[in-house]
């Protein structure tokens, strides 16, 4: 009887050890699968080389570069990205020199009166909506109007922002787009739908981006992504994995 019990205990221990070993092997296989890094793209490399992390979200940059690839633009070297997923109190306008891999401007920019308070969450292509529009625009000519030196913007996406010129959505300087307004209101002042910039930067920015450069307004907005034909969404799991990888790298740094 004693030998039988001993044999059964040894057999049970062997079975448990084999099961644990199999579990460990499976875990190692899964870990290996999760940690396989996807192939880096030219957009990834450019984002890192230009050190854009502190001034521009990767996804905003990626989407801007997607549209840039699809559109015929006179001057593709200069590109402006406005990130309306950020609060109005943050510097959410970035002008990039892609040829020389430089950040030329990074400053405040206002959104439309009816798009939201500190955050822009509502967007429209309709006249008199007093809302901002998302998507891709091309810059055109300049003029001096009631808001001073201004830049005409032509919306390139039908049904999304192609009423921009009819709505007089232009870039211009504004006194309400200032740190002083943030101090008094807790947010920037709001426009009638125009991307208004600080008065002191209006001239330099407009002169840099006028005459045929690309401007992209981003907001991490599902409705826009469902309508646009210019942006190809990556696999969701791959996007989540890539975001985790970047966070891990940032934590290690």
Query: Please, what is the angle between helix 58-70 and helix 42-49, to 10°?
Result: 130
Three-state secondary-structure class, residue 220: coil
Three-state secondary-structure class, residue 94: strand
Residue 96: what pLDDT? 98
Q: Tell me: pLDDT of 21 over 90.
A: no
Residue 36: what pLDDT? 45
Percentage of the chain beyond pLDDT 70 is: 77
**What are 161-189's pLDDT values in tens digits?**
999 999 999 999 999 999 999 999 999 99
Report the run of H or E that residue 231 belongs to, with start and end.
none
Three-state secondary-structure class, residue 10: helix
Taking the model in full, what pTM does it have?
0.79
**pLDDT confidence bin for 24, thresholds 50/70/90:** very low
User: Average pLDDT in the 78-100 region?
Assistant: 98
Residue 39: what pLDDT? 78
User: Average pLDDT in the 198-213 region?
Assistant: 98
Can you tell me the distance from the alpha carbon of 84 to that of 162, in angstroms, rounded to the nearest whole number? 19
**What are 226-246's pLDDT values in tens digits?**
999 999 876 444 445 455 555
Phi, psi of 135 (to 5 degrees): 100, -160
Can you tell me the distance from the alpha carbon of 243 to that of 246, in angstroms, rounded to the nearest whole number? 5
User: Average pLDDT in the 138-153 region?
Assistant: 97
Percentage of the chain beyond pLDDT 90 is: 75
Domains of the chain: 42-232 (2.40.440.10)
Closest by CA to 156, choosing from 141, 172, 175, 134, is 134
């Amino acid at each position: 009887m004693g030998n039988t019990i001993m044999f059964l205990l040894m057999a049970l221990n062997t079975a448990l050890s084999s099961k644990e070993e199999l579990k460990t092997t499976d875990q190692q296989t899964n870990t290996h699968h999760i940690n396989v890094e996807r192939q880096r793209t030219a957009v990834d490399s450019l984002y890192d080389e230009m050190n854009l992390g502190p001034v521009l979200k990767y996804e905003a940059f990626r989407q801007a570069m997607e549209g840039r690839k699809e559109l015929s633009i006179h001057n593709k070297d200069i590109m402006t990205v406005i990130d309306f997923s950020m609060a109005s109190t943050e510097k959410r306008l970035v002008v990039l020199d892609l040829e020389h891999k430089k950040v030329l401007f990074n400053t405040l920019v206002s959104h439309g009166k009816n798009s939201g308070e500190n955050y822009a969450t509502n967007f429209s292509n309709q006249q008199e909506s007093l809302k901002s529009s998302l998507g891709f625009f091309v810059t055109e000519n300049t003029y001096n109007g009631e808001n001073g030196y201004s830049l005409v913007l032509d919306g390139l996406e039908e049904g999304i922002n192609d009423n921009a010129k009819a709505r007089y959505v232009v870039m211009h300087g504004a006194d309400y787009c200032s740190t002083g307004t943030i101090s008094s209101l807790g947010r920037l002042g709001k426009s009638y739908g125009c991307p208004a910039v600080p008065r002191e930067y209006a001239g330099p920015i407009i002169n840099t981006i006028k005459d045929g450069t690309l401007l992209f307004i981003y907001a991490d907005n599902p409705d826009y992504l469902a309508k646009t034909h210019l942006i190809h969404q990556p696999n969701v799991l791959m996007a989540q994995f890539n975001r985790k990888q970047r966070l891990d790298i940032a934590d290690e740094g």
